[in-house]
């Protein structure tokens, strides 16, 4: 195990280096500018739903309608029997193709954008400001959490309530959203079931919507947002909200309904929890959209990234390395030496005055050797470097122990989404993104080895592969 004193000294040196580097380059810290406060003027919103959504909106139950009203939203909704061809009857996941990608879509959208009626019982005190609905919320009901197939199934055009077809549907309706940047489309995930038969599939699909859907489609606009209603209802400590200055998505391995009401309709308590999480988050999404925020993918540099293996078990110094393989290694080898990885990103492609709103680092898992280090080696940490480790952008053995600008800034979730592990950067650390040059990160498990004299490491796709590590960043240019 490594010397704790050396680690603490590296943190102190990193803080000093961060201050000096920032002063030398003239970079201004880029703190979170997300605003969870209500819109400044009345905004028209419409919600497509059935019974669960009706309960959620209703005064005395979920109180969503009243709470949105208090946040300057003029709320309307659809329900059973609504609209041309009674399209309101059909809100299962496959039905969104009819709503947003069919020959009847123009008629449905004209009716939806100009619908100002109430089809549920909720307080509406605001005066209609005129014009069309700006925000379109839509949700499928809980039977849509019975998705067949497997959690990692790819998009599949074959009809059916499956993981693969659900992904296919959402990928295709995204094209309508892309063509209408003047509207904000908010996906509300389907609530969970009490039956756990397909619960793992539902969790995987909804995590895909939150973490991977927009990236997979290279969707650069900010007019599409996801609220994980499903996740909020699966456990008391699971959330999707704006909390302490950041968007927070807390989830785990509990995938069934935690808030039953005698059947699979969420209870009053669950619905009100969802309201408390959702409304400030909606405010954040709305303000991002109005600010003209965009998403950008910045992929790692294949020439500069790779892995470094420790020279000896307790040396805390680099030995051998590899910068050309299509994978990098994290864990330990048969001599209990730790593997670390260096990833390099040209973050100077961001505007010099970019206001960063969200930063997610994504790495794709590959094969496993020995035991799973996510289970035996602690958490997978990210050390940040403004510029290059050890003063050189090329991979070097000394990068293993080189001082980071700030070590252990964030960690990866051990639960993967379509083979991708994701790490979210907190807003207080956005100043670690170098807007004028290179940003390097070092990846390492918090426990250097498990002392079993066996090779135990996970391989991940490097910049030399088709699945490069990537920053998925949301920002706007003021």
| CA gap 128, 145 in Å, rounded | 35
- Percentages helix, strand, coil for the chain (3-state, rounded to 5) are 30, 25, 45
Query: Which residues does residue 360 pair with via DSSP β-bridges, in sequence order?
Result: 424, 472
Characterize 80-100 residue by residue with b for buried, 16 or more Cβ atoms within 10 angstroms of its Cβ, and e for exposed: eebbeeebbeebebbbbbebb
Which pLDDT score is estimated for 32? 58
Tell me what pLDDT residue 31 has: 53
Given a contact cutoff of 8 angstroms between Cβ atoms, the answer to whether 2 and 314 are in contact is yes
Output the pLDDT for position 434.
Answer: 93
User: What pLDDT, on a 0 to 100 scale, did the predictor assign at position 316?
Assistant: 97
Determine the Cα–Cα distance for residues 37 and 16; give it in Å rounded to an integer: 35
Q: Are 305 and 389 in contact (CB under 8 A)?
A: no
pLDDT of the residue at 33: 74
CA torsion 205-98-90-224 (nearest 10°) is 50
> 50 in helix, strand or coil?
coil
Q: What is the pLDDT of residue 14?
A: 40
- DSSP-assigned beta bridge partners for residue 78: 48
> CA-to-CA distance for 239 and 202, rounded, in angstroms?
16
How many Å apart are CA 361 and CA 469, to the nearest integer?
7
Looking at the chain, the number of H-run helices and the number of E-run strands are 11, 19
d(CA 394, CA 375): 31
User: N- to C-terminal Cα distance for the chain?
Assistant: 47
Token readout for 317 is 């110094």
**Segments of the chain with pLDDT less than 70:** 1-32
How many Å apart are CA 84 and CA 90, to the nearest integer?
Answer: 12
Sequential DSSP letters for 34-91: ---SPPSS-EEEEEE--HHHHHHHSTTTT-HHHHHHHTTEEEEEE-TT-SGGGGGG--
Q: From CA 463, how far away is CA 300, in angstroms rounded? A: 5
Q: What's the mean per-residue pLDDT of the chain? A: 93
């Amino acid at each position: 195990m490594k010397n704790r004193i050396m680690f603490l000294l590296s943190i102190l040196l990193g803080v000093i280096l961060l201050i000096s580097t920032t002063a030398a380059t003239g970079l201004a810290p880029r703190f979170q500018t997300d605003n969870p406060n209500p819109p400044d003027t009345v905004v028209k919103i419409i919600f497509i739903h059935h019974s669960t959504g009706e309960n959620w909106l209703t005064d005395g139950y979920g109180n969503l309608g009243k709470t949105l009203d208090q946040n300057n939203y003029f709320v309307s909704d659809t329900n059973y029997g609504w609209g041309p061809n009674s399209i309101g009857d059909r809100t299962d996941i496959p039905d969104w193709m009819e709503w947003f990608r069919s020959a009847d879509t123009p008629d449905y959208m004209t009716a939806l954008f100009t619908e100002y009626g109430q089809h549920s019982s909720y307080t509406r005190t605001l005066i209609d400001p005129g014009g069309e609905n700006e925000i379109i919320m839509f949700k499928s009901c809980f039977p849509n959490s019975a998705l067949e197939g497997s959690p990692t199934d790819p998009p599949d055009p074959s009809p059916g309530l499956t993981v693969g077809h659900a992904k296919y549907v959402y990928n295709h309706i995204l094209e309508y959203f892309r063509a209408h940047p003047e509207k904000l489309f908010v996906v509300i995930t389907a609530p969970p079931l009490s039956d756990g038969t397909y619960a793992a599939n539902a969790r995987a699909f909804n995590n895909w919507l939150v973490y991977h859907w927009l990236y997979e489609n290279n969707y650069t606009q900010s007019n599409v947002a996801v609220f994980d209603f499903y996740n909020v209802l699966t456990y008391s400590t699971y959330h999707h909200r704006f909390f302490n200055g950041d968007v927070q998505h807390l989830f785990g391995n509990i995938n069934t309904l935690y808030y039953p009401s005698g059947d699979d309709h969420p209870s009053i308590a669950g619905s009100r929890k969802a309201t408390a999480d959702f409304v400030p988050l909606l405010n954040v999404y709305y303000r991002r959209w109005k600010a003209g925020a965009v998403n950008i993918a910045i992929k790692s540099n294949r020439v500069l990234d790779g892995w470094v293996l420790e020279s000896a078990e307790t040396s805390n110094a680099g030995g051998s390395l590899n910068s050309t393989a299509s994978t990098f290694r994290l864990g330990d080898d048969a001599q209990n030496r730790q593997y670390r990885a260096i990833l390099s990103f040209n973050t100077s492609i961001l505007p010099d005055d970019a206001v960063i709103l969200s930063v997610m680092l994504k790495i794709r898992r590959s094969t496993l050797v020995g035991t799973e280090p996510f289970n035996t080696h602690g958490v997978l940490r990210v050390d940040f470097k403004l510029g290059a480790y050890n003063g050189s952008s090329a991979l070097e053995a000394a990068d293993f122990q080189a001082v980071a600008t700030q070590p252990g800034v964030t960690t990866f979730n051990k639960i993967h989404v379509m083979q991708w592990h994701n790490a979210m950067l907190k807003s207080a650390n956005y100043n670690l993104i170098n807007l004028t040059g290179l940003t390097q990160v070092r990846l390492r498990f918090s426990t250097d080895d498990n002392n079993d004299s066996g090779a135990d490491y996970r391989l991940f796709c490097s910049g030399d592969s088709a699945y490069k590590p990537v920053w998925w960043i949301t920002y706007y240019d003021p």
